[in-house]
Structure 1
Amino acid sequence: MNRYIKLKICYVMMVWILHCSYNVFGCTSTTAQYKQIGDSVTLEFQATMTNSLDTSIIVSNVISSNNGSTLLGIAYRDGVLLNSPTCNGCTITGNVTTGDLSIRLDNLQTSNSGTYKLSVTEAIHEVKGCIILYILGKPEKPTIQSNNNNSIEGMNVKLTCMSRSTTNPSDPNLNLQYDWRVDTEDNPQVYEYSQTKNILTIKNLDRQDAKKRFTCKATESGSSVTGLTSNYSDEFMLNVLYGPDGCEISVKSPVTVKVGSISPLIKCRSDCYPLCTYKWTNASSGSSIVSANGDFEIDSITRYHTGNYACECGNSATEIGTTHTEILQIIV
């Protein structure tokens, strides 16, 4: 076996080993490009122009699109261009005679996203390089959720802003960063935020928080790219349960009335959400109920109406069932 034949056999064996490696590991090199709809992009590939073991063998270079169709096919022998290439749906921007196979795609659409490959055929077909083209999209309009839809005053509450990337294809190296607006203020420092600001924590919830309007937005970003920002979410308002703080009676105790007269309308009020419940009882006669609402009056006073009357204000919606009692003394 002469030296030339041995060299050919070694070459074929080496190519076969490389072929197996490529089948396992895919592209030998991969880069990424990030663009938006309507942009142009230049994809830079470098041709293999000479067979390293046998310069007489033609080297074929093919750039394929994200859907596998051929964009550009070009052949070399010993560093010399053998054909006049044309680009299918693209523009050649590189100097193909020197192996620069750069091409430009214009007016990009979501359908252009994906992996573009340079395949080289020497003795067998191999993928030499890949470029992943990401088409950045505006994140979906976020939604806001609370960890407690009926929060009690004094609790800690977490609001979560949720959106989703529309970049195609999905890129695990991109993350969504969030920003909040409370009424007209951006990211108020009175709140705590998670690292990506998707969670806003309200410490020691106050009933005034129920009047505030929370909105949020999402921006996609990575180590080398800042993507698009979503629209703001719809307004979110908290449902804060509170009260009663105490009971207030509309007259000052004691109240003196005459026998046979009608007592003044006595009102008992407090501040609650949802609305307070009220109950008047005669504390001097075994706490019998004399009124099931906040208003209390006696139509015809007798001496037996003398005593202490208690107004109880409550809120069954709060977890502790808060109640407060105020005593009214009636003297006949």
Structure 2
Amino acid sequence: MVLRKGNSTQIRLGSWNGLHFTGLPQLKPDPDNTLVFVLNEKEVYHKYVIRNSSLLVRLVLDPFGIVERFTWRYRTSSWAQINAVVLDGCDNYALCGSNAGCNISNTLQCKCLTGFVPKSLGEWIQLDWSGGCVRRTPLHCQTGDGFLKYEAVKLPDTSYVWFNKSISLIECKKLCSNNCSCIAYASLDVQEGGSGCLLWFRDLIDIRELAEGGQDIFIRLAVSELDNIEAKRHPSKKKQVIIIVTCIISAIFGVLVFGWIVYMWKKKLRSQECTLIASYKWDDNKEGSREDDMELPIYDLNTVADATDNFSDKNKLGEGGFGPVYKVT
């Protein structure tokens, strides 16, 4: 579904995938109506078939970008809203240019697809995304390319795609792989039991990332790009071993440092204890010395007799209650 102003496309609601428009997954089917999609080599269109001929239904896009579906209520003679979808900035056609996706939840809405870089980095920095993105690594079809799966997106503009309504997705991939001009493929009909194939041969324009209900697309990339993506998603065993060994060495070093700190702490405690004990012993020795100094010396009888000239009266100083007192010479 495309909304135009003159010859200029303003809004593209996405291609029909058997369940809904890929850009409007929230616009659920109405049980009172059947949406019929016609796709063949001559024409592409869709129409609503009213199951109950007495019902009147209308689809409205108001000036504020709201897509509304109404049904006529005969009892109240008024239109009743069945559902409504509010459009936003990412619904503007080709807002991000080619090979880029829009996500309304991001601060910078536009981002190059994986494997692509801004065509003009200066314009991109100035938030002018209209120039889009180009491949970082050229394709090498003869030596082999691969495909990267993008999930939950509004499929890019299908104005110039090749389609087949009967082949499977596996056959679709094979067709795209064998054609060096094919840059992406996707399913035509994703409903249960559906089939079909879409192939893109030009730049991918008007892609949007959706929170839910989007569709998968497979975009061609050089093998080297795919290898880099795979390496980031799943580090090699060698890198894993290096990381594990580094973690083990770091853990062992941490344990050794912790053990050394504990050892030095205990050693310091023991040193402080020894100093304290030595201090106590020194104080005890000083106390003992003071006690020894206060005790009177004791002499034997022979020493006293010699010193007093055998207790001579001439050395006698006097006599008291404790006996005679002699002068020592």
Structure having the higher strand fraction is 1
TM-score between the two structures when normalised by the length of structure 2: 0.19
Structure having the higher helix fraction is 2
Tell me which structure has the larger Cα radius of gyration: 2
TM-score between the two structures when normalised by the length of structure 1: 0.19
